[in-house]
A and B are shown apart, each in its own frame.
Chain A
Amino acid sequence: MSDRIFGVVGILLAVSFAFAALAIEESFLSDAVGPKAFPLIVAAVLGISSLVIALKPDAAPEWPSLDRLVEIGAAAVVMVLYAELLPVLGFVIATALAATYLTWRLGSGPIASVVTGLGTSVGIYVVFHLVLGLSLARGPLGF
């Protein structure tokens, strides 16, 4: 069943890709092929392969239970927040928070998570910024 849904999504993707390709504005100076032809070929391959997937599905994979899905979704949200807050909070604080969260969700105890998170953040800061001189996001506190 998973593969049938996947195939249908793939077909929709291919169709919208083809429409987006047709909507490309041609420039008045163009080569013999133009900017549309190759994307259309790609859309065709995408569509045909999706159709085959939908018609001949493999055995469905073992999807995780709902709480595991929530887990993954929550981790993704934390990562998005991390990306957005990085320039605001600065590297060390933002990274310590994100790493603490991930360590906690992967099964460490609360205190151990905070310690690991801080350690990860400071460790990366020391190795990459102080030793190797990579520029990291600066927060209001200067680190």
Chain B
Amino acid sequence: METFASLADGFAIALTWQNILLALLGCFLGTIMGALPGLGPSNGVAILIPLAFTLGLGATPSLILLTSVYYGAMYGGRISSILLNIPGDEPAMMTCLDGYPMAQKGMAGQALSLSGIASFVGAFFATWGLIFLAPQLVKIALLFGPAEYFALFALAFMTLGGVSSTNQAKSAFAAALGLGLAMIGVDTQTGVPRFTFGEVHLYDGLDFLVAIVGLFALSEVFIFLEKRHGAADADKKKVKVGRLTPPWSMIKQTTPTMLRSTGLGFLAGVLPGAGASLGSFISYSMEKRLVDKDKTFGTGDPRGIAAPEAGNNAAAGGALVPMLALGVPGSGTTAVLLAVLLSLNITPGPLLFSQNPDVVWGLIAALFIANFMLLAMNIPMVGLFTRVLMVPPRILMPVVAMVSFVGIYGISGSSFDLLVMIGFGIMGWVLRKLDVPLVPIILGTLLGNTMENNLRRAITISNGDWMTLIDSPLSIGLWVIAIIGFILPLVIGRRVKAQMHAKAGEEGTISD
């Protein structure tokens, strides 16, 4: 029972006062960020990275803080879905379908606590799944050479657009743009400067934190400036929260739904190109098909809340599997978490488990702790969070912008980085208008150099023979999956996306 011994070590690391406080802070901030429309898990984590970094937190404490934010945001998204019928973040979209009708029936409190329990079930079992699945994946990953890694990165990019992508050309464009941005700076292998145009500030390359905060957080500010009104402002009617504890019969009725959705959501999280939004979407549609005999889904059926919430939280846990075991994230927020690891000088991937076991198991233990905290926080304190929702965007958005500036300025203390960040903010706004996904850009800037190094290493080992890239069965397998993953959305993508957006169609949201 090596796993349990490691897990016990992890708890020993995570259970210090500092780490518990950080987890508490992270859960609290995360829930707020998830609940506020316009701030999702990815921009929430993005704003906080530079701060965690400049505050001089160590690797494990920063990760604990930021993953607590991640889990917290997944919990928080449901609050505004249920109360305002506006999803707080994209994965919570499906929760609107039954959550809002329930709130209209005067059962908002029950809907909130039930969805809190469902979130807990999803996240709790997904964390167990992470514990058992990740080490297995590591065993496979240890067989990877440079050529296989190159194929794996290609797979990550080709599937990132996701099954729900409508336009694969735009995903490919975004990935290439990100990779191109990563090329800026001095080439690590030969020492020649590339694409720097003589600008000294660019020799180090672009800081990916600057790119992330600009693309995610600042572009959101521009979107709000464009629309100005801010939907949350418009219908600020008082919602009665009502009774907070769901009756036992309701919990009993929804238990099988939660368990099934957890399984499905976890799978969706692990698979490349799916992620939490899709996790909640398939969970909801499967439950609808399976148990909706009286056609009550969509009119405030408790199972219609339990399914997507368990699904998206399980997917959040599942998405950590490829990120930790392979170093290749499958969703937007895990890409941002990868940025955390990289800026702390920790290389994720199979060696992480043997070289930094304290980081991995401390993190996993922290996930359990955060999960219990979130459950405790989300049911009795839900009233507090609903009040936070009343903060209008005209006050919130300047704060977001200023905190982004503070974080980036804290890292380097140079105005140049701030200017680059503003540039990324504008670019992010334009690209979001044009429906170009932002996550591949981030992933490209993060992984670009590693991907290139693996390519060059593979070809140097084989003395310049490019065929080495498709030489082993393992790499051929990866390429096949990559190609299928790229072509599949062309066939079925339009349908899935149309269904997903049928109800809560929102333009240019950042996917989980």
User: Do chains A and B stick together as partners?
Assistant: yes
Question: Which chain A residues have a beta carbon within 8 Å of chain B's beta carbons?
Answer: 2-3, 6, 10, 14, 17, 20-21, 24-27, 29-35, 37-39, 42-43, 45-46, 48-50, 52-53, 56, 58, 61-64, 68, 71-72, 75-76, 79-80, 82-84, 86-87, 91, 95, 98-99, 102-103, 105-108, 116-117, 120-121, 124, 128, 132-137
1/0 contact trace for B395-427 toward A, CB 8 Å? 101110111011001100101001100100110
* Interface contact B173-A116, CB-CB below 8 Å: no
Known interface pairs A46-B173, A53-B173, A128-B406; A32-B464 also in contact (CB < 8 Å):
yes
**Dominant secondary structure at the A interface:** helix
* Interface contact B464-A103, CB-CB below 8 Å: no
Residue from B55, B225, B434 within 8 A of A134 (CB atoms): B55
Known interface pairs A10-B173, A32-B460, A102-B397; A17-B226 also in contact (CB < 8 Å):
no
* Interface contact A124-B402, CB-CB below 8 Å: yes
Kindly list chain A residues whose C-beta atoms are within 8 Å of the C-beta of B180: 17, 39, 42-43, 46
Kindly list chain B residues whose C-beta atoms are within 8 Å of the C-beta of A24: 187, 192, 194
Residue from A39, A61, A68, A106 within 8 A of B434 (CB atoms): A61
Closest B residue to A88 using CB positions:
B415
* Interface contact A134-B54, CB-CB below 8 Å: yes
Nearest CB on B from A32, distance (A): 4
* Interface contact A49-B402, CB-CB below 8 Å: no
User: Could you list 25 examples of A-B contacts with CB < 8 Å?
Assistant: A10-B173, A21-B194, A26-B190, A30-B190, A31-B460, A38-B451, A38-B455, A42-B179, A43-B176, A46-B173, A49-B176, A53-B169, A53-B173, A63-B433, A71-B228, A72-B222, A72-B429, A79-B425, A82-B418, A95-B402, A106-B225, A106-B394, A124-B403, A134-B51, A134-B410
Name, among B54, B187, B398, B406, the residue most crowded by chain A CB atoms within 10 Å (CB to CB): B398
Closest B residue to A48 using CB positions:
B172
Q: Using a Cβ–Cβ cut-off of 8 Å, how many residues does chain B contribute to the interface with A?
A: 64
1/0 contact trace for B428-470 toward A, CB 8 Å? 0100011100000000000000011001100110011000000
Kindly list chain A residues whose C-beta atoms are within 8 Å of the C-beta of B226: 64, 68, 71-72
* Interface contact B507-A61, CB-CB below 8 Å: yes
**Dominant secondary structure at the B interface:** helix
- Bound-state CA distance A48–B194 (Å) is 22
* Interface contact A108-B394, CB-CB below 8 Å: yes
Nearest CB on A from B293, distance (A): 38
- Bound-state CA distance A120–B162 (Å) is 39
Closest A residue to B418 using CB positions:
A83
1/0 contact trace for B490-508 toward A, CB 8 Å? 0000000000000000010
Nearest CB on B from A113, distance (A): 9
Contacts beyond the supplied A75-B222, A120-B399: 11 A-B pairs with Cβ under 8 Å: A17-B180, A24-B192, A33-B455, A33-B456, A98-B402, A99-B401, A103-B398, A107-B228, A116-B395, A134-B51, A136-B406
Nearest CB on B from A72, distance (A): 5
B327 interface residue per 8 A CB criterion: no
Kindly list chain B residues whose C-beta atoms are within 8 Å of the C-beta of A45: 172, 175-176, 179
Kindly list chain A residues whose C-beta atoms are within 8 Å of the C-beta of B260: none
- Bound-state CA distance A143–B209 (Å) is 26
B229 interface residue per 8 A CB criterion: yes
* Interface contact B228-A86, CB-CB below 8 Å: no
Kindly list chain A residues whose C-beta atoms are within 8 Å of the C-beta of B422: 76, 79-80, 83
- Bound-state CA distance A121–B406 (Å) is 11
* Interface contact A72-B225, CB-CB below 8 Å: yes
Nearest CB on A from B356, distance (A): 26
- Bound-state CA distance A98–B397 (Å) is 12
* Interface contact A106-B397, CB-CB below 8 Å: yes
Kindly list chain B residues whose C-beta atoms are within 8 Å of the C-beta of A37: 455
* Interface contact A75-B433, CB-CB below 8 Å: no
- Bound-state CA distance A84–B228 (Å) is 26
Kindly list chain B residues whose C-beta atoms are within 8 Å of the C-beta of A120: 395, 398-399, 402
* Interface contact A71-B54, CB-CB below 8 Å: no
Name, among A3, A32, A76, the residue most crowded by chain B CB atoms within 10 Å (CB to CB): A32
Known interface pairs A68-B226, A106-B397; A39-B194 also in contact (CB < 8 Å):
yes
Closest B residue to A119 using CB positions:
B395
1/0 contact trace for B286-314 toward A, CB 8 Å? 00000000000000000000000000000
* Interface contact A106-B224, CB-CB below 8 Å: yes
1/0 contact trace for B167-211 toward A, CB 8 Å? 101101101110110010001011110110000000000000000
- Bound-state CA distance A58–B54 (Å) is 42
Residue from B55, B179, B456 within 8 A of A132 (CB atoms): B55
- Bound-state CA distance A121–B226 (Å) is 24
Name, among A33, A56, A99, A108, the residue most crowded by chain B CB atoms within 10 Å (CB to CB): A33
Kindly list chain B residues whose C-beta atoms are within 8 Å of the C-beta of A75: 221-222, 225
B166 interface residue per 8 A CB criterion: yes
Nearest CB on B from A119, distance (A): 9
* Interface contact A106-B393, CB-CB below 8 Å: yes
Kindly list chain A residues whose C-beta atoms are within 8 Å of the C-beta of B192: 24-27, 35
* Interface contact A20-B195, CB-CB below 8 Å: yes
* Interface contact A58-B189, CB-CB below 8 Å: no
1/0 contact trace for B147-168 toward A, CB 8 Å? 0000000000000000000110
- Bound-state CA distance A54–B53 (Å) is 41
* Interface contact A71-B190, CB-CB below 8 Å: no
Known interface pairs A49-B169, A83-B405; A102-B221 also in contact (CB < 8 Å):
yes
Known interface pairs A46-B176, A49-B169; A108-B429 also in contact (CB < 8 Å):
no
Identify the 7 closest CB pairs spanning chains A and B, nearest first: A106-B394, A83-B418, A52-B169, A102-B398, A46-B176, A32-B464, A49-B172
Kindly list chain B residues whose C-beta atoms are within 8 Å of the C-beta of A29: 190
- Bound-state CA distance A9–B342 (Å) is 32
- Bound-state CA distance A34–B183 (Å) is 13
* Interface contact A103-B394, CB-CB below 8 Å: yes
